[in-house]
A and B are shown apart, each in its own frame.
Chain A
Amino acid sequence: MQLISTHASPSPRQSFGHFLAGIAGMALAAALLAWEPAALATRWHPAALAAVHLCALGGLMPVMLGALFQFVPVACGLSLPDAGRIEWLRLAALEAGAVILATGFVQGRADAIAAGGTLALASLAWSAARLLRALHAQPASTALPRAMRRAALALAMTLALGGVLVGILRLGGELPFLALVDWHAQWALAGWVGGLILAVAGVVVPMFHVTAPYPARWEQLTRALPWLVFAAGAGSLAAQRWLTTVAVAALCALAAGFGVLSILRVRASRRGERDAFHYGWLGAGLFALLAGATGLAAQVAADPRWSVAFGVIALGGLGGITITVMLYRIVPFLIWLHWQRANRARARLPLLHQIVPARPQAWQLGTEAVAVGGLALGAFLPETVCLAAILLFFSKSAQFFLVCRAIREFSARLRVLQALPPRPRAAH
């Protein structure tokens, strides 16, 4: 067992690179929807498939990985040794894979889908293996490493099924394509994105909002998550529709339950501050609740538009908003911490909420939430899609600018701090 400090964790620059790449990926997905607003007419629209993969692989994924590099060592006491330059190569492969895959979907080109899928798959298999190896080296003494392990396994299932789908497209075969596509999406959305958010929120919400922990029984319930995803796919593959419906309904109940429990906890926060972090987590809770409701509607109603609304809410709402909120916590803190550690001169540093200024932060978060809401509505009111997509594009571009500016400031000030002569410490 190891206990390492943030000194031993990957350099913040590596995480920052992942964050910027991810924000750019999400902006690109928004731009695609603005260019092709008809994409949200059906979940099989080529541009919808392209946007989903740009958002998930090129957007959410790098941000999640960049955050995990910092979070896993602190929260689980695990060592994730810095693999150096190969990490940049891996990130480039992931982004290139996402863009090629998206191009393949839009143009209906099997060769591009296979090439992009393989590239992204190779990159992610490397990350998943590293994460799983680190998590398995650690006896799962607390809930967090156990939950992270479940999420990482779901990521591995998502990737394996993605590989099978690419194989079917390339080589043909009599496998049940539709059932496998659904399962791939369920492992990705519920197992990996949902599982990771559940795991991280279980720690972050009580500790960083200064509020009650999630109930012990809730933690036990969430252990069922991968089994439910498994049952949903098994039901569909074995043509037992009832099993899929029951499993999906239970998954939706978990999402909604998480939303309600989170909202109640954040509302009772005793942190003493009502900022983007506070309202952002309330928003994430609301999107979780909505994801549960629309997911259930998509399963039981004959109207396929519910699937589109669910996809937008789960990916852009629950996934996207949670990530934005966490970014605004992680980026300023990492910058501040590395400044502080280099600050032997005890020079005056900018305050935490000035590093990414609080007001633009709140505006960006607000417009992102409204834009995602507009896109979800677009499943039923197609005329809102273009406007909402443009709003989302500008919101993510503004976020890119805010984070970029903070990182430039980080490097500039760090050089100054390292050059200043140390000031003797006062005795405590």
Chain B
Amino acid sequence: MTFPDYLTTDHRACDELLGQLRQHANGADWGAARTAFDALRHDVLAHFAAEEEILFPAFEARTGMRQGPTAVMRMEHEEARDLLEDLAQAVAADDREGVRGHGEALLILLQQHNMKEENILYPMGANVAGPDLADWSARIIARREAP
């Protein structure tokens, strides 16, 4: 599997976890909500790590663009991390309104971020990777799935 397909599928999987968290919080099932949140936080952070540690440096080295797309993506990752912190506090305090508000903000933030990655950055990345696509993909997947 190449990294654009892999990372795109991973985006969708994270959306599902966020949906589960909100469903459980709305149903006041806080045990299940915490389980879903822990999985969500782990997966989103591992996804960001795979991009920031493998994909972005490779992209920057290949294109020479350090202040371009990857800088924007890193900034948006930072914003998503802040929201994950807010969500963690809301989940710890059984705060349904907090989960609704931060959850929706995270969903919209991630979707507009994902659109940019899936429509622009990943195709560009796969393009500049050229014959190294399989190698980049293997390293990205390994980092995302590292225990």
Contacts and interface: CB of A to CB of B under 8 A. Distances in A.
Q: Name A's interface SS.
A: loop
Nearest to A3: B69
Nearest to A73: B116
Contact of B19 (A7, A271, A352, A354): A271
Contacts of A428: 81
Nearest to A333: B108
Contacts of A329: 108
A1 B124 contact: yes
A141 B118 CA distance: 11
Given A1-B124, A3-B68, A272-B21, A333 B105 contact: yes
Nearest to B102: A351
Contacts of A220: none
A271 B111 CA distance: 12
B79 interface: yes
Q: On chain A, which size bracket covers the interface? A: 35 or more
Given A5-B75, A210-B16, A273 B124 contact: no
A380 interface: no
Nearest to A74: B112
Contact of A351 (B101, B108, B121): B101
B120 A272 contact: no
B41 to A, nearest CB: 12
Nearest to A6: B112
Q: B102, B104, B108: which has the most chain A beta carbons within 10 Å?
A: B104
Given A1-B124, A142-B119, A273 B108 contact: no
Contacts of A75: 112, 115, 119
A420 interface: no
B105 A272 contact: no
A272 B23 contact: yes
B119 A141 contact: yes
B22 A3 contact: no
A207 interface: yes
Nearest to A70: B112
Contacts of B102: 351-352
Contacts of B121: 3
A130 interface: no
B119 A271 contact: no
Contact of B105 (A7, A271, A336, A341): A336
A315 B15 CA distance: 33
Contacts of A6: 112
A7 to B, nearest CB: 8
B82 interface: yes
A301 interface: no
B123 interface: yes
A208 B107 CA distance: 7
Interface string B93-108: 0000110111111011
A144 interface: yes
A273 B109 contact: no
Contacts of B100: 273, 351, 353
Given A144-B119, A208-B108, A273 B97 contact: no
B10 interface: no
A332 to B, nearest CB: 9
A74 B111 CA distance: 10
A141 B112 CA distance: 18
A272 B109 contact: no
Contact of A272 (B19, B76, B108): B19
Contacts of B15: 207, 210, 270
A337 B26 CA distance: 24
Interface in A245-292: 269-273
Interface string A62-102: 00000000000011110000000000000000000000000
A340 interface: yes
Contacts of A175: none
Nearest to B85: A426
A207 B75 contact: no
A4 to B, nearest CB: 7
26 contacts: A3-B68, A3-B69, A3-B124, A4-B72, A7-B72, A74-B115, A74-B116, A75-B112, A75-B119, A77-B120, A207-B15, A207-B114, A210-B18, A210-B19, A270-B16, A270-B19, A272-B20, A272-B22, A272-B24, A272-B103, A333-B105, A340-B79, A351-B98, A352-B108, A354-B101, A428-B81
Interface of B: 15-16, 18-26, 68-69, 72, 75-76, 79, 81-82, 97-98, 100-105, 107-109, 111-112, 114-116, 119-121, 123-124
Interface of A: 1, 3-7, 74-77, 141-142, 144, 203, 207-208, 210, 269-273, 329, 333, 336-337, 340-341, 346, 350-354, 428
